[in-house]
Chain A
Amino acid sequence: MIKDANGLIDYTEALKNQSSSELKLYVSMGTCGIAAGTTPVLNKIYQTIEEKNLKDIIDVVEVGCMGLCHSEPCICLENKETNEKVYYGNLSEEQVVQILEAKFDTELAGAKVLNKTWNTPEDEEISDQIQTRIVLRNSGVINPEKIEDYVMRDGYKALAKALTEMKPAGVVSEIELSGLRGRGGGGFPTGRKWQFAASQDADQKYLICNADEGDPGAFMDRAVLEGDPHSVLEAMVIAGYGIGADKGYIYIRAEYPLAIKRLEIAIAQAEELGFLGENILGSGFNFTIELKYGAGAFVCGEETALIHSIEGKRGEPTFKPPFPAISGLWGKPTIVNNVETFANVAAIIRNGADWFKSIGTEGSPGTKVFALAGKINKVGLVEVPMGTVLRDIIYGLGHGIVDGREFKAVQTGGPSGGCIKADKLDTPIDYESLKALGSMMGSGGMIVMDEDDCMVDIAKFFLDFTLEESCGKCTPCRIGNTRLHELLEDICSGNGTMETIEKLKTLSAAIKDTALCGLGQTSPNPVISTLNNFYDEYMQHVDRKKCPAGVCTKLVSYTINDKCVGCTLCARNCPVSCISGERKELHHIDQSKCIKCGVCYTACKFHAIDRT
């Protein structure tokens, strides 16, 4: 138990003075690393260290997500003397043994040695690199299950500063001055939100961390919780002190079992050392944190719905005002902030508002974490200053489109966002610029699409999602989106007319204006943005009854041309056996049986199959 701020300084010093081994070996043990097969690699590492008696030379650190999802399983070997770091990716068990035996020989082992620029810790020289790590400052660097690792990297220092050197109002105004905006997507100024709750006179206030990361293709909050859970806990105690709340909840999706496990460990450790509980660091301030589990409802990312869910009710949103900051959980003033927002707080308190404002743009200070996915070479997590241009993210950090194909669009903001075209790739991104492009920041998912993706189909995909996730409370969302989906279905199946397009536009505008909550109001965005940016593609579906990307099966037909050499590969691959023909003779597709799956088209090595 640490009694006060001086106790924390002593504790940190003692940890730093502990002797450490010559080499540190970081092993990426986030969800996607484990899914990609890191566990056997890790076991092999322990086995080799045991066998070769390397225990005194190498410290193994099991870390959270390094952001290098494209190269899992992956490790990083660091020399403590020289601070030299080498990353290895796509590792096999055999390669790991070779690396350990050679200790630092990058030429050996045949494993892919990764570019260092991808992962840049906060304290490194970053001038010529694109990434700046504030939120992910500890992810991939510390063992998330050891509070000592966090404390050694100045963890809980901000809490000590807030509790001993600052008044609650000072904490709130520091966050307000920093210009930090909600990273869950809306971009509301965090400090102002806190101010609302702080100014309320109530016997009980609550603080909620929204970890119900529901946007498909977004996994930054999971990475923070799995890689650096204490940064969120520390920020919650600071926020609780600022607004006068002594009870915090973390609302986390049940789909994130590893994050839940690491949070449970972190909470127990913080309680043990006295960073949570009563009389924290001798300040007289009390704060406890409890985990609450989601149960698979996207709408619970909306704050009023989330509050109902914590109360044990159906997660239906209610009309605002009153805002939760005035009347929230069980009718008490409640602040709901997203994981990534909280992950910025300790760094701001420690380094000051001016430091934070020096990063990013004037209207959107700081950084943003993006999850790059889809048809991109380097799928992974990146953190860049606000104002970075899209091209630098997609072509710089993401290394462009797979197989050198043509970039078609990038989708940001999940089901509430929109698609951005190639001619807008040089836009510096912040909350306002993305809105101007008809998309939104959202939680930070970036799905890259190429010429094989049909934009009408993408719009339909997102409406599928919204339809399933609509809570059904308000008519515009429940009925309106069903009709929107039917209209898109008409277009994709060749029954669309100009009238369908007009109806799409009118109905989208009506839903946007009249739906109850954020989910409903933004649900037509994928339709509106694809209509605006890819109108020609809609027209091809409507006018010519063709799907240029070859995705809408009812508008596509496959035929075999005279380049066919009769290799029978297509016939053997066809799942419904509708291709006939003798060996070395021209084959034929029975159109009445063809399910248009495109397997023959991909299988043919002679460009003998036409897709029209």
Chain B
Amino acid sequence: MSSCTCSKDGGCSGIEEINLIKLFPEKTSELDRYIETLNITSDIEQNRGYLIQVLHRAQGIFSYLPEDVQLHVANKLSLHLSEVYGVISFYSYFTDKPVGKYKINVCTGTACFVKGAGRILDELKRYLSIEEGETTADGKFSLGGLRCVGACSLAPVVMVNDKVYGNVTTDMVPQIINDCSE
């Protein structure tokens, strides 16, 4: 395990900042191999066009995009870190915080809303004792909202990773959480 690399003067909370790039060389080389398949040149405008797809791939590999991953991508595409961070913070699909093993997302589309998605979200918050956008302390569950998945006939919809639960009622919440433990 690498030592704390943070450069904050006195502001360091003492919690070790994990450098994913150093920690997982095999994941880093997987990302690098993908970047090599792209036509990266000295043309920065053209390189920037690849940024979002590279970030998609990077998040797929590392599951989130902390600063060291952002910096790595920025160097590979000859972009500034600020540009990369600007893109990550703009698009809701990207996250720079670790997410839980089970990503529980309640659809926030209109059809789900009129069929009571709000009540389902409240019950999940109560059950897991976390707010929307948070992860449980054991790193197991993250709770969030999800843009309409288009499964409106099954409203309200809850997605756990790739699994879809349709016609969800508040009674089903314990079962949904239970399914994750199996």
Bound pair (A, B): yes
* Shortest Cβ distance from residue A434 to the other chain B in the assembled complex, whole angstroms: 17
* Shortest Cβ distance from residue A46 to the other chain B in the assembled complex, whole angstroms: 22
How far is it, in angstroms, between the C-alpha of A315 and the C-alpha of B87 when the chains are bound? 8
Say if the beta carbon of A414 comes within 8 Å of chain B. yes
Interface residue ranges of B103-140 to A (CB < 8 Å): 108-111, 113-115, 119, 122-123, 126
Q: Looking across the interface, which residue of chain B has its beta carbon closest to that of A445?
A: B110
How far is it, in angstroms, between the C-alpha of A445 and the C-alpha of B152 when the chains are bound? 10
Q: Which of B93, B153, B157: most chain A CB closer than 10 A? A: B153
Q: Are B49 and A312 in contact (CB under 8 A)?
A: yes
Say if the beta carbon of B50 comes within 8 Å of chain A. yes
Say if the beta carbon of B27 comes within 8 Å of chain A. no
Interface residue ranges of A287-315 to B (CB < 8 Å): 292-298, 309-315
Answer whether A453 and B114 are a contact pair too, CB < 8 Å, given A32-B154, A313-B48.
yes
How far is it, in angstroms, between the C-alpha of A414 and the C-alpha of B109 when the chains are bound? 10
Answer whether A314 and B86 are a contact pair too, CB < 8 Å, given A35-B154, A69-B152.
yes
How far is it, in angstroms, between the C-alpha of A294 and the C-alpha of B170 when the chains are bound? 32
> In the assembled complex, which residues on chain A have CB atoms less than 8 Å from the CB atom of B155?
373-374, 379
* Shortest Cβ distance from residue A287 to the other chain B in the assembled complex, whole angstroms: 19
Q: Are A292 and B53 in contact (CB under 8 A)?
A: yes
Q: Are B154 and A215 in contact (CB under 8 A)?
A: no
> In the assembled complex, which residues on chain A have CB atoms less than 8 Å from the CB atom of B115?
374-375
Say if the beta carbon of A75 comes within 8 Å of chain B. no
Say if the beta carbon of A599 comes within 8 Å of chain B. yes
Count A/B pairs, Cβ under 8 Å.
137
Answer whether A219 and B126 are a contact pair too, CB < 8 Å, given A36-B154, A311-B45, A445-B110.
no
| CB contact between B113 and one of A311, A330, A461 (< 8 Å): that residue | A461
Answer whether A35 and B151 are a contact pair too, CB < 8 Å, given A293-B52, A312-B51, A575-B123.
yes
| CB contact between A599 and one of B49, B113, B170 (< 8 Å): that residue | B170
Q: Are B153 and A36 in contact (CB under 8 A)?
A: yes
* Shortest Cβ distance from residue B18 to the other chain A in the assembled complex, whole angstroms: 24
| CB contact between B148 and one of A217, A309, A375, A575 (< 8 Å): that residue | A217
Q: Are A373 and B123 in contact (CB under 8 A)?
A: no
Per-residue A-contact encoding for B54-96, CB less than 8 Å = 1, 0 else: 0110000000000000000000000000010011001111100
How far is it, in angstroms, between the C-alpha of A78 and the C-alpha of B82 when the chains are bound? 58
> In the assembled complex, which residues on chain B have CB atoms less than 8 Å from the CB atom of A294?
91, 93
How far is it, in angstroms, between the C-alpha of A379 and the C-alpha of B157 when the chains are bound? 14
Chain B interface bracket (under 10, 10 to 19, 20 to 34, 35 or more):
35 or more
Q: Are A311 and B48 in contact (CB under 8 A)?
A: yes
How far is it, in angstroms, between the C-alpha of A384 and the C-alpha of B55 when the chains are bound? 40
Say if the beta carbon of B149 comes within 8 Å of chain A. yes
| CB contact between A374 and one of B45, B52, B87, B111 (< 8 Å): that residue | B111
> In the assembled complex, which residues on chain B have CB atoms less than 8 Å from the CB atom of A313?
48, 83, 86-87
> In the assembled complex, which residues on chain B have CB atoms less than 8 Å from the CB atom of A170?
none
How far is it, in angstroms, between the C-alpha of A218 and the C-alpha of B115 when the chains are bound? 16
Say if the beta carbon of A545 comes within 8 Å of chain B. no
Say if the beta carbon of A126 comes within 8 Å of chain B. no
Answer whether A312 and B48 are a contact pair too, CB < 8 Å, given A411-B110, A461-B113.
yes
Chain A interface bracket (under 10, 10 to 19, 20 to 34, 35 or more):
35 or more
Say if the beta carbon of A216 comes within 8 Å of chain B. yes
> In the assembled complex, which residues on chain B have CB atoms less than 8 Å from the CB atom of A373?
110-111, 152-153, 155
* Shortest Cβ distance from residue A20 to the other chain B in the assembled complex, whole angstroms: 31
> In the assembled complex, which residues on chain B have CB atoms less than 8 Å from the CB atom of A462?
110
Q: Are A371 and B152 in contact (CB under 8 A)?
A: yes
Say if the beta carbon of A471 comes within 8 Å of chain B. yes
Interface residue ranges of A369-409 to B (CB < 8 Å): 371, 373-375, 379-380
* Shortest Cβ distance from residue B36 to the other chain A in the assembled complex, whole angstroms: 18
Answer whether A330 and B45 are a contact pair too, CB < 8 Å, given A217-B110, A373-B153.
yes
Say if the beta carbon of A72 comes within 8 Å of chain B. yes
Say if the beta carbon of A568 comes within 8 Å of chain B. no
Say if the beta carbon of A262 comes within 8 Å of chain B. no
> In the assembled complex, which residues on chain B have CB atoms less than 8 Å from the CB atom of A217?
109-111, 148, 152
> In the assembled complex, which residues on chain B have CB atoms less than 8 Å from the CB atom of A218?
148, 150
Q: Are B153 and A380 in contact (CB under 8 A)?
A: yes
Q: Which of B49, B51, B123, B155: most chain A CB closer than 10 A? A: B49
Q: Are B90 and A297 in contact (CB under 8 A)?
A: yes
30 A-B contacts (beta carbon < 8 Å): A32-B150, A32-B152, A35-B157, A35-B166, A36-B166, A69-B151, A72-B153, A215-B148, A216-B147, A216-B148, A217-B110, A217-B152, A219-B152, A294-B91, A295-B52, A296-B92, A296-B94, A297-B91, A297-B92, A311-B49, A312-B52, A313-B83, A314-B90, A315-B90, A375-B114, A379-B152, A447-B110, A461-B110, A575-B170, A597-B119
Interface residues in chain B, defined as those with a beta carbon under 8 Å from any beta carbon in chain A: 45, 47-53, 55-56, 83, 86-87, 90-94, 108-111, 113-115, 119, 122-123, 126, 146-155, 157, 164, 166, 170
The 3 closest A-B pairs by CB, nearest first: A219-B150, A295-B91, A69-B153
Interface residues in chain A, defined as those with a beta carbon under 8 Å from any beta carbon in chain B: 31-32, 35-36, 69-70, 72, 213-219, 222, 254-256, 292-298, 309-316, 330, 371, 373-375, 379-380, 411, 414, 445, 447, 449, 453, 458, 461-462, 465, 471, 575, 597, 599
Q: Beyond the given A31-B149, A35-B151, A374-B115, could you list 11 further A-B residue pairs with CB under 8 A, ordered by the A residue number?
A: A35-B157, A35-B166, A69-B153, A219-B148, A293-B52, A295-B94, A309-B52, A313-B87, A373-B155, A374-B110, A374-B111
